[in-house]
Amino acid sequence: MKIAFITGGSRGIGKAIVKKFLEKGYKVITTSTSGKSTYQDTYKLDLADPTSIEALANDLKQQSVKIDVLINNASIAVEGEDMVDVGSLRKTLEVNLIGIIDLTQRLLSLVNTDCVIINFSSQMASLCKDLGYDYPSYRISKTAINMYTRCLSDHPEIKSKNIKVYSFDPGWVKTDMGGPGAEREPEEPAQELLDLAESGNETGLFYKGLKVRDW
């Protein structure tokens, strides 16, 4: 049975992703900041806390877990931000970028050959479209995670194990972050993400569904 490791599976898109992968027959390991969710195999993880990241990675290593799909879904957005607030930027980058990189690299020894790694990005990370000025710290973090996708996908160790690394744009989704006025239900990007994970598509690119989108 293939194993999918999905961060932030207790609510929103993450919860929908966990459900989709379970329905497809995967064993799912997920996380929440409390260590609780409606699913079995939920671990406590605070991406802003290096000791929490290390503890989770060590726990999985002790269990000899082998991961086939790694989905970095969990992230934060600071509400009401206008100009860049340095304190908010530091907090956002710690979770949305540094924590994700720390976790991913600690888990690389646990991923199987032909593993798929998917980093959640956003249409708000776009460098080629005018999407306004709000949530700048969130935008900066997601643009940076796109660069991490590019760098990781091109690393010799990753290439030698035929690991595919994608950035994924879920669109504007009805979640606590996206709000009730958003265009999509969480189940829509969850299905797209499952399809992408099983697609064999070209590595190192930014996808919306199965289609490559502009950075």
Q: Please give the pLDDT value at position 78.
A: 85
Q: Please give the pLDDT value at position 201.
A: 98
Q: Please give the pLDDT value at position 143.
A: 97
Q: Please give the pLDDT value at position 80.
A: 67
Give 72-84 pLDDT, tens digit per residue. 999 999 876 788 9
Give 101-140 pLDDT, tens digit per residue. 999 999 999 999 999 999 999 999 999 887 788 899 999 9
Q: Please give the pLDDT value at position 64.
A: 97
**Predicted structure pTM score:** 0.95
Q: Comparing C-alpha atoms, which of 155, 151, 106 is closest to residue 5? A: 106
Beta strands in the chain (DSSP E): 3-6, 27-32, 42-44, 67-72, 111-120, 164-168, 206-208, 211-212
Task: Looking at 108-166, list the stretches that DSSP marks H as alpha helix, in order from N- to C-terminal side.
Answer: 136-153, 156-160
Q: Which domains does the chain have, with CATH numbers?
A: 3-212 (3.40.50.720)
Provide the residue-wise pLDDT of the chain in tens; the chain has 215 residues. 999 999 999 999 999 999 999 999 999 999 999 999 999 899 999 999 999 999 999 999 999 999 999 999 999 998 767 889 999 999 999 999 999 999 999 999 999 999 999 999 999 999 988 778 889 999 999 999 999 999 999 999 999 999 999 999 998 776 666 677 667 899 999 999 999 999 999 999 999 999 999 99
Q: Comparing C-alpha atoms, which of 67, 97, 101, 75 is closest to residue 12? A: 75
